[in-house]
Amino acid sequence: MSSYALLHLLHLLAAIGFIGTLFYEVIILARVKPQLDPGQLAVLEPALAARTRRVLHAVVLLLYGAGLGLAWQHRQALSAPLASSFASLLTLKIVLALSVVASYAAVAMLLRRGRMTPRLYRRLHWAVLAQMLAIVVLAKAMFYLHW
């Protein structure tokens, strides 16, 4: 297996883990939490948050590390981002990936400053999920859309 194929596979698997976790949190868990009594929620939330953070740190490092390796492989296309449909879509994908990092940085900053509200937390998670789904669509479009 070539190094590009290995990077591509690792990137794909990490993306599945990251998006799957976010999908689960936003679509499934958010609807279950109101059904739990406060005592159950007080036990579940910290344990789930701690485990999610531990797992996602490794997944995100793998996702962005492999992404950097893949971007390096396409550095010539990225040097002229408007020269082809592939380069344009890849550039947009990278911009969205950086916006995901910015969104999580905003979450961390708001949590540290005590300014995070449940409503804002939900909105940021939905925004990140939308960004990640757009990245998946762009990843496929890079190989199928041409202009």
pLDDT higher than threshold 90 for residue 1: no
Q: How is residue 83 annotated by DSSP? A: S
Q: How is residue 25 annotated by DSSP? A: I
pLDDT tens-place string over residues 22-61? 999 999 999 999 999 999 999 999 999 899 989 999 999 9
Task: Evaluate if pTM is beyond 0.85.
Answer: yes
49 and 91 inside one domain? no
39 and 105 inside one domain? no
Q: How many CA atoms lie within 13 A of 77 on its CB side?
A: 16
Q: For residues 135 and 36, what is the distance between their CA atoms, to the nearest angstrom?
A: 33
Chosen domain end from 19, 48, 73: 73
Query: What pLDDT is attached to residue 125?
Result: 93
Q: For residues 73 and 38, what is the distance between their CA atoms, to the nearest angstrom?
A: 50
55 and 98 inside one domain? no
**Tokens for 51?**
């485990």
Chosen domain end from 42, 73, 104: 73
| Domain extent for 117 | 76-147
98 and 42 inside one domain? no
pLDDT tens-place string over residues 79-138? 999 999 999 999 999 999 999 999 999 999 999 999 999 899 999 999 999 999 999 999
**3 state SS of 39:** helix
